Amino acid sequence: MNEKEFASFLDFWIEDKREEIVDCLLELIRIPSVGSEPAEGMPFGKEVGKALQFFVDAAERFGLKTKNVDGYAAHAEIGAGQELVMALTHVDIVPAGSGWTRDPWGEVADGYVYGRGALDNKGPSVACLYAIRALKESGVPLKRRVRHVVGGNEESGFKCVEHYFKVEEKPTYGFSPDAEFPLVFAEKGSIKVSVELELDQGLDGPAVSDTYNASEASEVSEATSCPCDSEGVQTPIAFLDGFTGGERVNVVADKASATLRVAKGCEDKVISLLESAVPSARDFAGGPEPLEFRFEKGNGFVNVAAKGKAAHASEPDKGTNAIAGLLYLLSSLGTLLASSEAIGFAAEASRINGEGLDVKCEDDISGPLTCNLGLASLELVGGRPVLKCKYDIRFPVRARLDELKERILGCPRPKGVRIGIASASKPHYSDPESFLVKTLLRIYREETGDNSPPMAIGGGTYARVIPGGVAYGPVRPGEDGGVHQADERISIDDLMLLVRIYARALYALAV
C-alpha cells in the first residue's frame, strides 16, 4: 500500500471510527488527571495513574504492544526494526478552574468536545492512539517501529519523560502534538523564579488569615476617626494579612485575593484610595479583558478580590493577571501600606516583557522574552509573614541562560526581598531543513491547503527531550481552543483531521 492508497484507506477507516473516537476522548476527559500526592506505583497521583492505565487498556484492546513504565509514562507500539518513530503526548492536565459554561469533565455540544484536556493534551493523545491503530489495521509493512508515548507530568516539570528516557530508547524521528500547526521547530528556554518578601508585621502582629469575610464582622464604628486624616501621619495604617492567587506557575492567574489589617476607623479611607487606583491597576495588568475588583470591609479589615482572565504562561498577553494587578493596586497605597515598596517590586517584576527582573530581550527566531507571575501566597516563615511569588519566564533561543540567571539574581530590590532560581531549561532548536520537518510540513499542507511557515513558540513541549524533535499541532493558525482556560474544546471534525494527519505522518516516517 503506497502513501496515496493509505490516504484513501483512512477516508473510510476514520469515518467508521468517528463515534468511537469521540467516546474514547470523553472517557479520558472524565478522569480528572491533575497531578497530586504520589501513591504506590503512581508517582503523580491516583488520577494520573488512572489516565495512564486507560491508555494502556485501550491500546491492548487494539492489539498494540504496551508498557507502563513505572507509572511515569506508558507506550503503545507496532512494527519491528532497529529504528524508532515516536509521537509523544501527555494525559496530565492543569486544574479545571472556574468560569466554565460547559462540563469541564466532558460534554459534546455544537460539534465540539468540551473538557479540561480536550486540546491539551488528551485530544491529541486519542488521535495518535487511533493513528497507530489505523496504521496497524492497514497492514502496511514498516521499516521502523512506531511508538506512541504518553507522559504523566508534562504540566509540572517533565519528570515523566526524564524517567522514561533513562530506561527506554530515544527515537530516530519524533514529534509532540502539543503546540501548533503547521510545525514548531524552536522552543524558548524556561526559568522559574521565586521571589520572597519578608513583610512588616505592625499593629498586633501577623495573623496570615484566610480571605476575610466581611459579612461575619461587626460594623465599623462611625465614631472612630482615621489617624491618617491627621496632619503629619507617617506610620502605615494597613498591613498585608493574607494573600492568595493563581493555580499553577505556568497559567496566567485569573483570581487573587488579599486581606489588609487596617487601623480601626480607616477602613473607608483605604477602600476609597484603592478604588481611585483601579484604573491604573487595570492599565498595569493589561490583557484582553479589564480586571474586576471587589471590596469588602469589616472591623479593622479590608478584603480585596481581583478577577482576570486565564491563559498559558507562554502567551501572557492573552490573559489578564489578577495577581499582578492586585499587587500593583495594593502598592498604590504608598507609605500607608507597610512594606509597600517590596509589594510594588513583586508587581513590577511581573511585567510580561521581563523588564521588572532586568531580563528584557528578544531575537529574530523566537521573538521577545515573556514573564508570568503565576502563583502568590502569604505564609508564616519562622513566625514572620512572607509573601511568596513564583514567576515563569520563557526566553529567546539566542539568549544565554547563564547571563539571564545572573541578571535575575543581581536585580536591584528593596530590603527584605529574596530572589531565587527554582529551575531552568535551555531552548530547543531543530533544523527547519531536516527530513522530519519537510515531511511533516508536506503532509499538513496537503491535508489543509495551509502554507503557513513553521514557527518558534514560548511553550515547552516534549519535543525538547528528543534530538531533532518538533512539535506538530494540534492547534491550527487563527484558532483558539481555550488551552488552560474555561471551556477548553476541540471540534469533532478537527479531531478526525488530527487522526488523519498523524496517521499519514507516522506512515511517511516509518515505511
**3-state DSSP call for residue 39?**
strand
Would you list the DSSP string of 444-502?
HHHHH---PPPEEESS--GGGGSTT-EE--EEPTT----TTSTT-EEEHHHHHHHHHHH
- The answer to whether the CB of 235 falls within 8 A of the CB of 338 is no
- Phi then psi dihedrals of residue 437, to 5 deg: -60, -45
Given 47, 120, 154, 487, the catalytic residue: 154
* Nearest-angstrom CA–CA distance, 152 and 31: 13
* Nearest-angstrom CA–CA distance, 298 and 301: 5
- The answer to whether the CB of 394 falls within 8 A of the CB of 313 is yes
* Nearest-angstrom CA–CA distance, 402 and 6: 48
Instruction: Decide if 16 is catalytic.
Output: no
**Which of 473, 483, 463 is CA-nearest to residue 505?**
473
CA angle 122, 13, 29 (to 5 degrees): 15
- The answer to whether the CB of 55 falls within 8 A of the CB of 45 is no
Instruction: Decide if 154 is catalytic.
Output: yes
| Element (DSSP H or E) covering residue 348 | helix 340-348
Strands (DSSP E) found in 330-467? 362-363, 367-368, 370-381, 384-395, 417-425, 428-429, 455-457
Place of cell 524517567: 163
Given 47, 77, 92, 392, the catalytic residue: 92
Give the catalytic positions in this structure: 92, 154
